[in-house]
């Protein structure tokens, strides 16, 4: 019997990402302990899932199976009802083969994979093999899409059988990881139009940058999508003030979605 694939929670928190440091915000979680404390607070504030990046002892982004295994074990004890999604983000440091190896070493319940990164080495057959293994194991793969063209590319890959149709999940990234980026709700218009045009039946979500994050996520929910919120993409409240912590951001978005 093929295992069921976990569905995305309505609200997922992305508390740190690969790039920010404590210089950006003193409450940015870096260690396993930090992430567990953040997960508990964000779960209490309304998040149903955690998008997890781990860091090494110097605070650098790593795709380290050992650190991830420690985090997953701690979170299973502390917040058993929270969906934990690991990331394979390369951040310019890792190859597609490294990303595939991480997933195979952990076989997590959920993982995010950027389409442009996993196909960076033009290793389509290897990517297809990984996606098939995830499907067979019931792993929820969320495909990270940075542009409308990538939505069209994903539709072609699904049609070709490279990406399984079952339990298809996508995250539309509204904007870029650049200084001063401020996303707008209209940024989702073209990606969603391409999603419809490509016939992609997907459990979809969005993330956004800057103080319009809450407005973007509220609009995504109104259109039938789910949301990812947190310090990975934005440190500010809707009124432009600096958030106290990730739970502050989750609470504001959760209240806006009621």
Measured CA to CA, the distance from residue 163 to residue 131 in angstroms comes to: 6
pLDDT reported for residue 46: 98
**Across the chain, where does the E strand assignment appear?**
11-13, 49-52, 54-55, 61-62, 83-87, 110-114, 140-145, 169-174, 203-208, 226-229
Question: In the prediction, which pLDDT does 177 show?
Answer: 63
Average pLDDT over residues 56-77: 98
Any domain includes 2: no
Distances 105 to 56, 69, 100, 122, 245 between C-alpha atoms, Å: 18, 9, 9, 22, 32
pLDDT reading at 53 higher than 70: yes
Query: What confidence score (pLDDT) does residue 122 get?
Result: 85
Question: In angstroms, rounded to a whole number, what is the distance separating the alpha carbons of residues 32 and 55?
Answer: 8
Contact 79, 39 (CB under 8 A): yes
Q: What is the pLDDT of residues 170-186, one digit of tens each?
A: 999 998 766 667 799 99
For a pLDDT cut of 90, what percent of the chain falls above it?
A: 93
pLDDT on residue 211: 87
The verdict on residue 1 lying in a domain is no
Distance CA 50, CA 76 (A): 12
**Can you give the pLDDT at residue 178?**
62
Is 5 a member of any domain?
no
pLDDT over threshold 80, residue 1: no
* Structural domain range at position 116: 11-256
Residue 57 belongs to a domain: yes
Question: What number is the average pLDDT over the span 216-224?
Answer: 98
CATH number at residue 179: 3.20.20.70
Answer whether residue 72 is part of any domain: yes
Tally of structural domains, the chain: 1
Whether residue 26 has pLDDT greater than 90 = yes
**The pLDDT value given to residue 101:** 98
Residue 48 lies in a domain: yes
- Residue whose structure tokens are 């195979």: 104
Within-domain flag for 87: yes
Give the model confidence (pLDDT) of 103-158 as tens digits.
999 999 999 999 999 999 888 999 999 999 999 999 999 999 999 999 999 999 99
Express as a percent the part of the chain with pLDDT over 70. Answer: 98
Whether 118 maps to a domain, the answer reads yes
């Amino acid at each position: 019997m093929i295992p069921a694939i976990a569905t995305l929670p309505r609200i997922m928190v992305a508390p740190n990402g690969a790039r920010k440091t404590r210089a950006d915000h003193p409450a940015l979680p870096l260690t396993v302990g930090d992430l567990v404390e953040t997960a508990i607070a964000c779960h209490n504030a309304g998040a149903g899932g955690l998008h997890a990046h781990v860091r090494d002892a110097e605070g650098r982004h790593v795709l380290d199976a050992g650190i991830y295994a420690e985090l997953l074990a701690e979170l299973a004890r502390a917040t058993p009802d929270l969906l934990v999604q690991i990331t394979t983000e390369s951040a310019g440091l890792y190859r597609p083969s490294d990303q595939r190896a991480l997933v195979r070493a952990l076989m997590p319940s959920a993982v995010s994979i950027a389409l442009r990164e996993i196909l960076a080495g033009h290793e389509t057959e290897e990517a297809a093999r990984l996606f098939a293994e995830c499907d067979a194991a019931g792993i929820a793969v969320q495909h990270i899409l940075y542009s409308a063209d990538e939505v069209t590319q994903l539709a072609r890959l699904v049609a070709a059988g490279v990406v399984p149709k079952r339990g298809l999940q996508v995250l539309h990234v509204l904007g870029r990881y650049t200084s001063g980026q401020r996303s707008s709700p209209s940024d989702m218009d073209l990606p969603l139009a391409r999603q419809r045009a490509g016939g992609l039946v997907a459990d979809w979500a969005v993330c956004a940058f800057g103080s319009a994050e809450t407005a973007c996520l509220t609009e995504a929910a109104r259109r039938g999508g789910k949301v990812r919120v947190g310090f990975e993409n934005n440190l500010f409240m809707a009124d432009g003030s600096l958030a106290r912590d990730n739970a502050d951001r989750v609470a504001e978005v959760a209240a806006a979605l009621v």
